[in-house]
A and B are shown apart, each in its own frame.
Chain A
Amino acid sequence: MTAAEFEPGQVQRVLARHRPRRGEPIFRGLVVLASLTVLLVIAGLILVIASQSIEGIRHNGVAFLWGTTWDPVHSIFGALPFIYGTLLTSFTALVLAMLIGVGVALFLVEMAPPWLAGPLGFMTEMLAAIPSVVYGLWGIFVLAPWLRDFVEMPLHDTLGWLPFFSGNPIGIGNFAAVVVLTIMILPTVAAVSRDVIRAVPLAQREAALALGATRWETIRIGVLPYARSGILGAGILGLARGVGETMAVTMVIGNAPTISLSFFSQGYTMASVIANEFTEATTDLYRSSLIEIGLLLLVVTLLINAAARLLVWRASYSAGSRSLLA
C-alpha cells in the first residue's frame, strides 16, 4: 500500500462510517453481567448455607462455639475442637511458611545467579501444582513414619516433660498436618514475596549500599521495610489456603476431635470434619450441624481476611512503623 493513494479527507470519511459504536453498550452489558454473577453466587451461597444450618443453630445454640464434645449419636454438637484444629494448624504452618518463603524469595531476588533463580523459582511454583491428595498420600506413607522415627521420638524422649511434646508420637497428628500445610502454603508465600521484593526500587538498595551497608543490612533497611505490606499480603493468601485446605490435612491429622497442646496429638479441622462425616450424616440435625461448621468456616475466613486487610492497610498507610510503635 502506498501513501499517495489516499486523498485528503478520506481518513475522516472512513472514521465517520464507524461513528455509531454499537459494541460499547454490548461490552458494558457483558462486564456488568459478569460482575453481577459473582455477587449472585456469593449471595446464594451464603443464603443456602445459612438456611441449611438454621436447624443446627436452633438446637446447638451459642454453645456450639465452645462446646468440646462432638457426639452425633447423642446429638451433642460442639465445634471447638475443629476451630482449634483449623487455627492451630494454619497459623503454625503460616509462621513456618513465612520464614521459609520469605527466605526463598530473598535468595531468588537478591542472591541467586540467574541460571539458578529461574529453575528454582519454577520449582517453587511447581509445589503449588501438586494435587492435594498426592500431598496426603505422601504425608501418610512417607512423612508421618519419618516424622515419628526421626523427629517425634527424639523430641518425646528428651523434651517429653513439655506439654507440646507429650503424648504418643505416632506420626499422624497435628505435627504432620502442619508440615504438609507448610509445604502447601510455601509456594504462594514465596512466589508473591518474590514479586513484591523484586518490585522494590533499585534506588532503595543503592541508598543502603552507598551508606556502607552489607548485603544483609541492605535487605534489612532497604528492601524488607519497603516490601513489608506486600509480604503481609503474601501471608494472607497463604493463610487463606491453609484454613480451607481439606484433603491433605484430613489424610494426616488423625481426625480425632480433641484439644491438646501436644504436637503429637491427633486433631481435626473444620474442613476435614465436613469432608469426613457428610456421608454419615443420617439425621437432619447432624447434617445441619455440619453445614453450621461450614458457615463457621466461612465466618472465620472472612474474619481472617478482614484482620489481614487491616494489617496490610496499617503497614502501608502509616509508613513510619517506629513512630507508630513508639
Chain B
Amino acid sequence: MTLMTDQTANPAAAAPVPVPGARAIEVADRADVSVEHAAVAVEIEHLDAFHGSHRVLRDITLTVQPNSVTAIIGPSGCGKSTLIRCLNRMHEVTPGARAQGRILLDGQDIYAPGVNPVVIRQRIGMVFQRPNPFPTMSIYDNVVAGLKLAGVRDRALLDEVAERSLRRAALWDEVRDKLHAPGGALSGGQQQRLCIARAIAVEPDVILMDEPASALDPISTLRIEELIDALRASYTIVIVTHNMQQAARVSDRTAFLTVGDDRAGYLVEEGPTPQMFTNPRRQLTEDYISGRFG
C-alpha cells in the first residue's frame, strides 16, 4: 500500500500509472495529485445488530467490492447507519449495543475473539454526518491526529502527510496559509473536507461515510461528491445516504435495506447502481426508488 504523490508538477506531468484493480485518478479541481492504492474487499456474513433487546439488523450478507463506492440506501430506521457503524466496530461503543456475525476485512474476521477494535478503526476510516473536527486543534493537527495517535513523531513525515491529505481532500489551497488556525474556524463544507483529510491521512483500507453531505449546502455537497469520485480509485468506500440522486451519482454499487415487520432492517437486494435504479429485481426496491414509499 504505497502512495505516490507529485505535489509540484502540473496535471500533465503527473501521469497516472495503470495498476490492475486500481484506477489512477486526478483530483477533479486540484489536478496535481495522482495516487494508487490497493484497496481491499469487505465481506459481511450473516450480520445481526442489536440495541439492547431490540434487533436493528437481521441477517445481513453483503460483499463490498474493493476500489468501488457502495451506497447503502433505505427508509429511515432501516439500520443503514447501524450497518456502517458495524463495519468499523463503532456500533458497540453505544451502551447496550452489540453485533454478531462475521465481517471479513481482506479475509480476516474483525469480530473474531481477540481482535482489537482500535486496530480495526485505524484500517477503516470514518466520516460522520455532521463535520466533527477537533475544534481546539489546528487544521494541521486535525489532519495528522491519527498519525500522532499511532506514535508518528517525524516532523517531516507529518508535514508531508498533512499536505498530501489536504490536497487529496481538495482543501489545501483554501487552508495552506492558515494551517495553524483552529479547525473549528472553517465553514461547514471545509470542516467536512478536513474530516475526510483526517480520515485518509492514516491511509485506511476502507472509508465509511455516514451521510457525509446531509448537513451541507448544495455547493459543498457537490465538492464532497467530486471528492468521493476521486477517492474511489484508491479506497473501498461505503456511503450511507438518504439522497437517492446522490447514491445514483456517486456509487458503483447500491445496496437497498428496508424495515421488516419485526422492525429490524434487512437487505432487500444489492447490485450495480445503474441496474438498481433502472431495472431492480425486487418490487420493494422499485417502489422505494420510484418514491412510492419511504
Which positions in A face B, CB cutoff 8 Å? 114, 201, 203-214, 217, 221-222, 225-226, 228, 318-323, 326
Contact B135 A226 (CB under 8 A): yes
Name the residue on A nearest B94 (C-beta). Answer: A202
Contact A209 B138 (CB under 8 A): no
**Chain A contacts of B126 at CB under 8 A?**
206, 210
Contact B138 A211 (CB under 8 A): no
User: Taking chain B's interface residues, is the majority helix, strand, or loop, or is none over half, making it mixed?
Assistant: mixed
Q: What would 14 A/B residue contacts be, using CB atoms closer than 8 Å?
A: A201-B132, A206-B93, A206-B128, A208-B134, A208-B145, A210-B121, A210-B126, A211-B149, A211-B198, A217-B149, A320-B136, A320-B181, A320-B182, A322-B141
**Chain A contacts of B199 at CB under 8 A?**
210-211
Q: Interface residues of B, CB < 8 Å — how many?
A: 33
Knowing A206-B128, A322-B180, A323-B182, the reply to whether A212 touches B146 (Cβ < 8 A) is yes
Contact A323 B125 (CB under 8 A): no
Contact B128 A203 (CB under 8 A): yes
Q: Which of A114, A204, A212, A226 is in CB contact (< 8 Å) with B119?
A: A212
Give the Cβ gap from B223 to chain A, nearest Cβ, in Å.
Answer: 20
**Chain B contacts of A206 at CB under 8 A?**
90, 93, 126, 128, 132
B184 interface residue per 8 A CB criterion: yes
Contact B137 A225 (CB under 8 A): yes
Contact B90 A209 (CB under 8 A): yes
Contact B150 A212 (CB under 8 A): yes
**Chain A contacts of B184 at CB under 8 A?**
319
Name the residue on B nearest A225 (C-beta). Answer: B136
Name the residue on B nearest A224 (C-beta). Answer: B136
Knowing A217-B149, A225-B136, the reply to whether A320 touches B90 (Cβ < 8 A) is no
Q: Mark B190-226, 1 if CB is under 8 A from A, else 0.
A: 0000010011001000000000000000000000000
Q: How far is the CA of A214 from the CA of B184 in the complex (A)?
A: 23
Contact B136 A321 (CB under 8 A): yes
Name the residue on A nearest B136 (C-beta). Answer: A225
Q: How far is the CA of A277 from the CA of B126 in the complex (A)?
A: 66
Name the residue on B nearest A326 (C-beta). Answer: B180
Contact B182 A212 (CB under 8 A): no
Can you list the 6 inter-chain pairs with the closest CB atoms, starting with the nearest? Answer: A212-B122, A320-B182, A210-B126, A319-B182, A203-B132, A225-B136
B55 interface residue per 8 A CB criterion: no
Name the residue on B nearest A220 (C-beta). Answer: B149
**Chain B contacts of A228 at CB under 8 A?**
136
Give the Cβ gap from A212 to chain B, nearest Cβ, in Å.
Answer: 3
Q: For chain B, residues 111 to 144, give those with C-beta under 8 angstroms from any C-beta of chain A.
A: 118-119, 121-122, 125-126, 128, 130, 132-138, 141
**Chain A contacts of B136 at CB under 8 A?**
225-226, 228, 319-321
Give the Cβ gap from A117 to chain B, nearest Cβ, in Å.
Answer: 11
Contact A211 B181 (CB under 8 A): no
B88 interface residue per 8 A CB criterion: yes
Q: Which of A205, A213, A326 is in CB contact (< 8 Å) with B149?
A: A213
Name the residue on B nearest A217 (C-beta). Answer: B149
Given contacts A210-B126, A210-B128, A322-B137, 6 further A-B contacts (CB under 8 A): A203-B132, A205-B93, A211-B122, A212-B149, A225-B136, A322-B138
Q: How far is the CA of A318 from the CA of B135 in the complex (A)?
A: 10
Name the residue on B nearest A227 (C-beta). Answer: B136
